[in-house]
Amino acid sequence: MPDIVLVLPGETTPVDPTESGFAHGFGLFETMRYAEGRLYFWDDHWARLANSAGRFALALPEKEAVLAALREFVRRSAAETATLKLSLLKSGSDSRLYVYARPPIAAPESRRLWLDTSCPIFPRSVLAGHKTHNYMEAMHLLGTVRAQGFYDLLRVDAAGFLAETTTANLFFVKDGRCHTPSLATGVLPGVTRAALLRAPGLAVEEGSYAPEVLRGAEAVFLTNTTGGVIPIGQITGLPGGRSADYAVDGPQLATPGTAFARIRAECALEL
């Protein structure tokens, strides 16, 4: 069974630069929210990691062994609130799983997105839809737009349909109905995205949407593990040459926000 390595706050661990996990970014990761003794959406995170591990032939420790390691990490680090991470890296002919916590990342006050069609997502890429350590492209794009005062960069797929941002899945409300780009666009199957899709009382339609559909939207929001439901106030770069504005606290956001809070509470695991 692959080794499980705990890296406590303030500690470091050696990584062989000749191994594929380091040299090629050959690995997968999960980012999980932990607060007040509860780990959220553990089963969803594990299912996604296990699915991708099978796809790329990366050996994965037993689920209960990883959960025990997470409990040990929380106990030894005395963490009350943390962004917990699992990194499964290829190591020779085997793999190694690292358990650690990511320091808080300050989110900008801006709630503006920049739509960029020059760097499309390719849904037929082998890596599409998997949370891999090959994140250089996304982090480069994110850093570029944040330097210009935007919250994130909104991307399209190779056919020009709306996809996702560098850090989150996209949702929008139009004519009173909630929509999100289909996984066929190559977007990451986000855990928070999946939670909203199955949330009782919230009907979400998946599909292929041209960017101009956002001009008539009543609300736009993003979802990810650390931010939950993130309202967007403006999108720049839409066809037509003008920015589109949205209310960040309007009634259209109340239903998805409430639905997410309810299902997150239902999917909390005591550590």
In order of their start, the domains of the chain are: 3-102 (3.30.470.10), 112-266 (3.20.10.10)
Half-sphere exposure of 35 (CA within 13 A, CB side): 9
**Which residues of the chain have a pLDDT value below 70?**
none
| Degrees, nearest 5: CA angle 245-248-253 | 115
CA atoms within 13 A on the CB side of 201: 10
Identify the pLDDT of residue 242: 86
Q: What is the CA radius of gyration of the chain?
A: 19
**Nearest to 131, CA basis, from 221, 53, 185, 229:** 53
Nearest one of 200, 203, 196 to 177, comparing CA atoms: 203
The CA distance from 108 to 224, in Å, is 15
d(CA 195, CA 189): 10
Question: What is the phi/psi pair of residue 251, to 5°?
Answer: -65, -25
Among residues 202, 240, 239, the alpha carbon closest in space to that of 221 is found at: 202
pTM: 0.95
